Amino acid sequence: MKMFKLIEDVPSAYKKGTKFFLISHSEFIGVKSYVLLAEDLKGKIEVTEEELRNKFVSIH
């Protein structure tokens, strides 16, 4: 399973360094979106492909 590490704080949600599992990805009319699950299993976040590239780094 792919893992990502947050490289920027998400206001009032997650701090830099939080690890996420990629649990789902989809594409609709050329727009890709990804659902990430926090490593502590306490929350999910949906991001676009651009946000994934800019705010996360792949660690697996």
User: What pLDDT is stored for residue 43 in this prediction?
Assistant: 85
Q: Which residues of the chain have pLDDT under 50?
A: none
CA distance 51 to 41: 21
What number of other Cβ atoms are within 10 A of residue 54's Cβ?
11
Count the domains in the chain: 1
| pLDDT for res 39 | 87
- Domain extent, residue 52, equals 3-58
**CATH number of the domain residue 47 falls in:** 2.30.30
Question: For position 7, what pLDDT does the model report?
Answer: 92
